[in-house]
Chains A and B, each alone.
Chain A
Amino acid sequence: MDILQSLLQGFATSLSFSNILAALIGAGLGIVIGAIPGLGSVTGVALLLPLTFQMDPITGIIMLGALYYGCMYGGSYSAILLNIPGDAPAVVTALDGYPLSQKGLAGKALFTANLSSFIGGTVGIIMLTFLGPVLAKVGLLFGPAEIAALILLALCSIGWLLGDNPGKGLISTFLGILLSTIGLGLAFGQPRFTFDSMYLLNGISFIPLVIGMFGFSQVLDMMVNRINTSGLTDKLGLRDSLLDRKEVLRVLPVSLRSGVLGNLVGILPGAGATTGSFLAYVMEKKVGRRGQDLGKGEIEGVAASEAGNNAAAAGSFAPLLSLGIPGSGTSAVLLGGLMMWGLQPGPLLFQQNADFVWGLISSMYLGNVMAVLAALAIIPFLVKLLRVPHAILIPVIAVVCVVGSYSVNNSMFDVWFMLGSGVVAYFMSVAKYPVAPLLLAFVLTPRLETSLRQALDISRGDPMIFFNSPIAVTLLSLILLFVLYPLAKSLFLRSRKKSDA
């Protein structure tokens, strides 16, 4: 009851005209920033932060929270429409979103993304409201050994789940791991594979890599194959974009379970929204009714990824508010903002600044609602993008790739790197090597490497640290299941084929 009362008080604080307006502006800006490849929520929040200092802290944080949510919505748009993920979690959205676009169902894909983002975000915020402090403590149960086991689980499932040929999927995963080892490893303080180039000292920047591998290789494909989309743009009105009752019933359970899983992953320090959206996708592939068809253009794939991603974003607020530990890059920037407003996130924040905390939590509901309204309103305009003739679309996407990769670090090296990775990804696709496993492995590996090293440092080299923790043992058992089950299944099927013959 206390929580409900506090939440209602929070709503009383946040539901003023100026705050609703701030949330709407924040959500709109967030959608635009999130949709531009190369700019993510970290950039958006960092850009807006100085402007909010002149505002009332609650209005300021409402605007930033709505912007954060808007970015999460917008990140999926370029992934669905152009196969250029706006941020790392959208890589997973592109797996089904872009094939849906190619089937002429871009509107439905966007609507699914918005609806499941809203459901996932709401699940995440409700869990944060009622279980925030508890969840934050659960997050602390995940030490380096448990985090390493969790990320290993995600890595082990990549190769098996993505692509028709698991061998090529695994090779692609290994390539992603290899690329992630370039630069000054955090765990070792030693430059690796930099070939004496100062540009590689900090490692490979993810955004130019993803823009090249998804976006620019797409430009090359469109040039070479001249895909005819003219027949696909007939069904792009708002009415055609709406989901019917059956489709809503397909999306709803997926969004709910992905939201719960995404939120739990989001509270883990450093696991991030990418791990959240990917594990939700993996779960859907394993347990979903249409799991086998995921990756070929199913709304369930978009729903799992987007709900997982947005719930993880809400989850990252739990350790930030309860313990003062940011769970993601964006919440680290928000932590800076809170401190500049004179607030000290941590266990005492709920007692000393209850008005602010509950104002913030209620503003997340407000931000989520505003973001979904703004997002739904722009679907008809977004899908019109697909009506643009290829003669204009191809060079403009190429320009977006160049500008997006430059904007991350203001570096021309990144632009050249984007071009190179685009050409490499194009030839990989020609040879039927899937690109998505490479990118996901690239994102996950540095965290795994650091956690593995930390875990063994803590145990002084004793690998039993992984077997003494029930959480790690459970996760490692799941890994065995993930690797052994497909192997056993394929061996069983092969032996049955032989005996039938």
Chain B
Amino acid sequence: MNNESAYAQQKRPWLPVIVTLLIVAIGVTWAAFGLFKYGVWQNRGPGAGFFPVVAGSGAFFLGLIELFRKQERAESGGIKSIWPALGMALAIASIPLFGMVIAMSIFVMVWMALIESQRWWKSLLTGLGTGIALYLLFGLWLRVAFPQGIIIQLLQ
């Protein structure tokens, strides 16, 4: 994560609180499962629940302490990151349809054209270049079995 990036005035002081609350919840869940389901000490040694209890309790108590401390100023951005993440999720969801290589080429083209406002031919060329590079490097040389996608399978 970039530490040098510009810090905006803190608009969302609740974001660090939510993250810490989630950590506290995860800690208590892990500790409870470790304690009641997996067992802390079994057969004269640490059981499957030993580490979940130790680390879960640690995360829980330190998280609580963190909640009561004065909150540090969060980095800027926060919630805006949902849009690029959603765009990526859409591209990943389209892999079973188009196949890995074509889906990733389309992703690069659409991203460059719509989000980065690049000229269409530049977006098209970069998308095609990405697809060709992926196919040559991963498909041909390293023989990674990429998902082909329903459309290619139907065409075959």
Contact = CB atoms under 8 A, between A and B. Distances in A.
Contacts of B52: 178, 181, 192-193
Contacts of B59: 171, 174-175, 178
A415 interface: yes
Contact of B147 (A220, A412, A431): A412
A323 interface: no
B97 interface: no
Given A170-B62, A221-B5, A431 B146 contact: no
Interface string B129-140: 010001001100
Given A192-B38, A391-B118, A396 B76 contact: no
B78 A430 contact: yes
Contact of A449 (B6, B51, B66, B92): B51
Interface stretch (A54-62, A109-117, A403-411): A403-411
Interface size class on chain A is 35 or more
Nearest to B116: A391
Interface in B47-79: 47-52, 54-56, 58-59, 62-63, 65-66, 69, 72, 74-78
A429 B108 contact: no
B1 A221 contact: yes
Given A219-B84, A399-B130, A453-B45, A407 B142 contact: yes
A402 interface: yes
B16 A225 contact: no
B88 to A, nearest CB: 6
A398 interface: yes
B81 interface: yes
A229 to B, nearest CB: 10
B3 interface: yes
A367 B54 CA distance: 44
A461 B27 CA distance: 27
B104 A431 contact: no
A102 B4 contact: yes
B19 A224 contact: no
A38 to B, nearest CB: 9
B1 A429 contact: yes
A467 B107 CA distance: 58
Contact of B3 (A99, A187, A391, A453): A99
B142 A47 contact: yes
B138 A403 contact: yes
Interface of A: 36, 39, 47, 99, 102, 165, 167-168, 170-171, 174-175, 177-178, 180-181, 185, 187-188, 190, 192-193, 216-225, 227, 390-392, 394-396, 398-399, 402-403, 406-407, 410, 412, 415-416, 419, 422-423, 425-433, 435, 445, 449, 452-453, 456-457, 460-461
8 closest A-B pairs by CB: A461-B44, A224-B77, A456-B45, A429-B1, A431-B16, A177-B55, A391-B116, A431-B19
Given A168-B66, A407-B142, 10 more contacts: A171-B58, A175-B23, A178-B56, A181-B34, A190-B38, A224-B78, A391-B112, A395-B130, A431-B74, A432-B74
